[in-house]
Amino acid sequence: MQSGQQQDNHRGQQATAGQRYCVGVVGAGSIGCFLGAYLCQDSALDVKFFGREAMALELAAHGLRASSYRQHHYFAQPVAFYSSLSSLIECDLVLLTVKANALVPMLLELKRYLRPEIPVVAMQNGIGIAEMLSQDIANPILRAIIPFNVIKPKAGHFQQATAGNIIWQQNTHKLVNYVIAVFNRLKLSVDVCLDITAAEYGKLLLNLNNALNAITDIPLKQQLLDRDSRLILALAMQEWLAICAQAGVKPLRYTLLPNTLLPWLLRMPTSIFKRIAHVLLAIDPAARSSMWDDIQAKKRTEIMFLNGAVMRLGQHYHLPTPANSVLVDYIKQLEMGTFHSQSTQTLLKKIRQHA
C-alpha cells in the first residue's frame, strides 16, 4: 500500500491543466457531503451533489462545511445540488456514497444517465458491492473504504470524528488520481491499495459490531464494557476470520493489535480489557453505531452486506456462522418492528445453542 503523500499523483495533477471536470457525489449524506466539501475547494473541479430535497434545503440555508480530524475547515457555498439524477450525464467521475442497501434502486438511474466510460467509485461499507454493481452497469467500478466516522454536529456541518486514512483501490484513471491528489493536498490522506479485497474484509471485521450495538441499544463504550457483549463480538469476529483464512484473504489491519488478536482481547475480563484497550475505549460516551441510527430512523440497514455477508460466505465455504446468523436475525426483527429487547446474556446463550 502506498501512503497518501507518496501518491500525490503528478500524472493525475497534470491531467487537469486548463480544464474543468465534473465530479458527481451521488447520495449526498454524511460521507458524500464531507468528501464533496473538500473537492469544492479545487478550482479544476465542478462538484455536483445528488441527494434528497431536505439536504438541498439544508445546504442552501447553511452552506456546506467539512472539518477534519486535524481541525482543518473547508466551506462551500453555493452548492450545486440536484434531487434528480438526470444531470449525471454531465459527470466525468462519480463518487457513489449512498448506503449499500440503496444501490439496487439506484442502478436503473445510473444506467440511464451515466455515460458508460465514466468511473464510479463505490464508497460503501460491506462485501460484494463492486460485484453487484458490475453485474448491472458497464462503467469501470472502483472501491474506496472510509475508515473514520463522520458526524453532523450542526446543520450543514460534517465533521470527521475518528482518525484514519481513506483506502482507495489502485487504478489508472487520470481524473480519479487527480481527485486522490486533491484530498492529499488538503490533508485528507488517501492510501492507494492494490489488494482492495483485503481492505474490505478488514473493515468488515470492525463493522461486525454495528449490528450488536443496534441490538443492545446502549452506547458503544458501555457496550464494550459489557463482557457478554464482547464475547458475542469475539465469536462473530472469529467466524469472519475463519472465512477469510478459508478464502485465502489476509484482512487489512485497521487497529494497533493484529486482527487475529482482537477476539482474544475481547474475551479478557473487563478489568484487564479496560487496561489494555484504552485506545478502543477512547470514544465519545454517547456514540452509537450508524446501524443503531438507521433502526431509530426506521430505515433499512446494511446488515446483508455486513453480518449477512459473513453468513453467505460461511455457507459458501461450509463454515458455521451462528453468531452472525443470530445478529442478522435480530436486526431483521428490529427492521420489522417485531424485536423484543433481550439481555446480552440471553443473546449469548442463543448463539451457543445455535453453535
Ligand X SMILES: NC(=O)c1ccc[n+]([C@@H]2O[C@H](COP(=O)([O-])OP(=O)(O)OC[C@H]3O[C@@H](n4cnc5c(N)ncnc54)[C@H](OP(=O)(O)O)[C@@H]3O)[C@@H](O)[C@H]2O)c1
Compare residues 102 and 186 and give the one whose CB is closer to ligand X: 102
What's the rounded Cα separation, in Å, for the pair 74 and 65? Answer: 6
Nearest distance, CB of residue 92 and ligand X, angstroms? 20
Compare residues 75 and 254 and give the one whose CB is closer to ligand X: 254
Nearest distance, CB of residue 129 and ligand X, angstroms? 8
By CB under 6 A, is residue 96 in contact with ligand X? no
Compare residues 305 and 330 and give the one whose CB is closer to ligand X: 305
Which part of the chain contacts ligand X (CB under 6 A), choosing from 68-76, 120-128, 266-274, 276-284? 120-128
Q: Which amino acid is located at 271 in the chain? A: S
By CB under 6 A, name the one of 7, 9, 68, 125 that touches ligand X.
Answer: 125
Q: Please, which of residues 16-75 interact with ligand X by CB under 6 A? A: 27, 29-32, 50-52, 55
Compare residues 127 and 146 and give the one whose CB is closer to ligand X: 146
Nearest distance, CB of residue 232 and ligand X, angstroms? 21
By CB under 6 A, is residue 93 in contact with ligand X? no
By CB under 6 A, is residue 92 in contact with ligand X? no
By CB under 6 A, name the one of 39, 95, 150, 179 that touches ligand X.
Answer: 150
By CB under 6 A, name the one of 39, 40, 118, 123 that touches ligand X.
Answer: 123
Which part of the chain contacts ligand X (CB under 6 A), choosing from 12-20, 102-110, 167-175, 186-194? 102-110
By CB under 6 A, is residue 165 in contact with ligand X? no
Q: Please, which of residues 287-346 interact with ligand X by CB under 6 A? A: 290, 302
Nearest distance, CB of residue 94 and ligand X, angstroms? 12
User: Footprint of ligand X on this chain (CB under 6 A)?
Assistant: 27, 29-32, 50-52, 55, 97-100, 102, 105-106, 123-125, 146, 149-150, 290, 302
